[in-house]
């Protein structure tokens, strides 16, 4: 249990990209859509699906295009 508690990055990973970067990359305005994208990206990071900036950008491209 202590090992799990002492690893906050597992529960709350450091974002690979921030909102400003995503807005610039994808020409998005600030707002609810961006907040949802950021939340979803953090969930993917926590799940281990996205673990690099490159994978984060690829994941974002797949989400924003659909």
Instruction: Give me the residues of the chain with pLDDT under 50, please.
Output: none
pLDDT at 3: 57
Among 65, 44, 64, 66, CA closest to 55: 44
pLDDT at 11: 67
Cβ-contact 34, 28 below 8 angstroms? yes
> Please, which contacts does 33-37 make with residues 24 or more away whose CB atoms are closer than 8 Å?
37/63, 37/64
């Amino acid at each position: 249990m202590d090992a799990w508690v002492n690893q906050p990055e597992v529960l709350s990973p450091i974002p690979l990209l921030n909102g400003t970067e995503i807005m610039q990359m994808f020409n998005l305005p600030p707002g609810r859509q961006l907040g949802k994208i950021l939340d979803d990206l953090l969930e993917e990071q926590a799940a281990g699906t996205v673990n690099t900036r490159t994978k984060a950008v690829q994941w974002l491209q797949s989400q924003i295009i659909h």
